[in-house]
Structure 1
Amino acid sequence: MQAKSEILALVLGALGLCGTIVTTCLPHWRVSAFIGANIIVMEELLEGLWMNCYRQANINIQCKVYDSLLILPPELQAARGLMCVSIVLAFISLLLTGFGIQKSSCCGDNLKSKNITYALGGILFLLSFLTTLIPVSWVAHTVISNFYNPTTLDAQKRELGLSLFIGWATSGVLLITGIIVLFRYSKRSAKEDQRYIEAYHMVKRNEQKADSVDFSRAKSSFHTNQEYV
């Protein structure tokens, strides 16, 4: 059961890493909102972190990379940096978690170092969860606010894209992974402390036995000398 939970954490961590990459790369953060009197739509606008795309009649799609970072709104600029940080954190946390599992040869028989490595992986998974959830929720809040803003033109209104939903699902996976890893770490550290306590009591018992043996020997020697006198 313990090994299965560690393998499950690795699988979920890998899914979280793939999810952050997909969320960052897909140009589906904001899509055209088909509202108004004209219900015949021939072209759809897709806006992402790195490019915007035009899709015509669900067949042809043309994408263009942004000429400058400064033309993006603040939420997309922040989302670029945070999502890149999330990818790096998810990758490092996945490596640390893999090195920290009990079946790993990393750190040899040093259980304390292995547990610390495992705990760092769980903490970084939680940080990756935050750096994924914040930009996705920020962009979604901006899209919804502009959609219900009466001063915004219909042509400028956008809807939530597929990348946002993938980002929310990915952040949930990263959160669950971090919780599993830290819960498993608490169990492992408790067992390690129990071993240290048992070893300490064993050493104490051995010292007490050694002292009692020395005392009995000293008493026997003194008694022998008295008999000799």
Structure 2
Amino acid sequence: VSSMYQEILAFIFSTSGWVLVSSTLPTDYWKVSSLDGTVITTATYWSNLWKTCVTDSTGVSNCKDFPSMLALDGYIQACRGLMISAVCLGFFGSIFALVGMKCTKIGGSDKSKARIACSAGVFFILSGLCSLSACSIYAQRITSEFFDPMFVAQKYELGAALFIGWAGSVLCVVGGVMFCFSIASNFSKSHSHSDYVYKGAALHSHVSSNPRGQVKSINQRPPPQYSVSSRVQNFDKNVYV
């Protein structure tokens, strides 16, 4: 029962993290223009993995999609690939988790369900690592440009999407690890129970049922039994004469 509750908690953590990771892709604010050293702000610049935008003082935003995928910076292409991989891995992990959990009635035997649930945990761990790497690469580029004194272009700060992605990545990894640990505990319990039953059956077959508990000899033979006809043939034929 405890392993079932652990699987349910792992499923809640991992799916919540996958939803958070998926929500970072369409989120606008991956990086926001820094207001450090500015007195009057006339426009705010922000961008994500797909477009760059500017919002003026009146609240009107003008956005421009990135014109070419091949002309993008390498870190943006890497972040796109990692985030899409994280979403796909989390999707398959959610399906495998629903099939492999004990509280569901699909997936076959307990052994096959345990393997499916373990695969779901691996998918969630990989999804969390992919999204964590993407957010960290993007944040590292922002911070390196911000603290570089030779960088004279517009400097940016970390946007809200990065923090959401980090939180979702941690939840995915924690949920996947909980899935793997729950399956490992189930296997250890099943092996220990089978060993106990085997040893008990072996001892019961070798020990006799007498009060002293002596060991019964396996090669002991029963005493010979003679039939009535063989005894009659041993008498002398002149015994009545």
Deviations 1:139-198 (A, max 9, x none): 111111111111111x42111111111111111111211121112111111122124324
Q: What is the one-letter code of the residue matched to 1:16?
A: G
* Corresponding position: 1:148 with 2:147: yes
Task: Give the distance between the partners of 2:63 and 2:203, measured in 1 at CA.
Answer: 75
Distance in 2, Cα, partners of 1:129 & 1:135: 10
Q: C-alpha distance in 1, partners of 2:187/2:138?
A: 40
Tell me the equivalent position of 1:162: 160
In structure 2, do the counterparts of structure 1 residues 50 and 203 end up closer, same or farther at CA, with 3 Å as the change threshold?
A: farther
**Rounded Cα–Cα distance in structure 2 between residues aligned with 1:95 and 1:164:** 26
Q: Does 1:192 align with 2:190?
A: yes
Pair 223,48 (structure 1): closer, same or farther in 2 beyond 3 Å: same
Gaps of 5+ in 2: 208-214, 232-241
State the match for 2:5 in structure 1. Answer: 4
SS in 2 for 1:173: helix
CA contact (8 A) 2:50 2:66 kept: yes
Percent identity between matched residues is 27
Deviation sequence 1:24-60 (CA, Å, 0-9, x none): 2212212111233x42112211111112222233733
Deviation at residue 202 of structure 1 after TM alignment: 5.8
Aligned residue identity for 1:18 = V
Q: What TM-score does the superposition give when structure 1 sets the normalisation length? A: 0.85
Check if 1:219 corresponds to 2:218: no
Query: How many corresponding residue pairs?
Result: 222
- Paired amino acid for 1:219: R
- TM-score, normalization by structure 2: 0.81
Q: Residues 21 and 86 of structure 2 are in contact (CA less than 8 Å); yes or no, is this contact kept in structure 1?
A: yes
The 3-state SS of whatever aligns with 1:104 is coil
The 1-side partners of 2:74 and 2:58 are apart by 30
Which residue identity is paired with 2:16?
Answer: L
Contiguous gaps of at least 5 residues in structure 1 = none
Bigger Rg over Cα = 2
CA distance in 1, matches of 2:227, 2:195: 44
- How big is the alpha-carbon RMSD for the aligned residues of Structure 1 and Structure 2? 2.7
1:93 counterpart letter in structure 2: G
CA contact (8 A) 2:3 2:186 kept: no
Q: Does the residue aligned with 1:115 lie in a helix, a strand or coil?
A: helix
- Counterpart CA distance in 2 for 1:179 and 1:46 is 35
- Give how far 1:89 is off: 0.8
Which range moves more in the overlay, 26-35 or 75-84?
26-35
**Cα distance, 1:72–1:223 mapped onto 2, change above 3 Å:** same
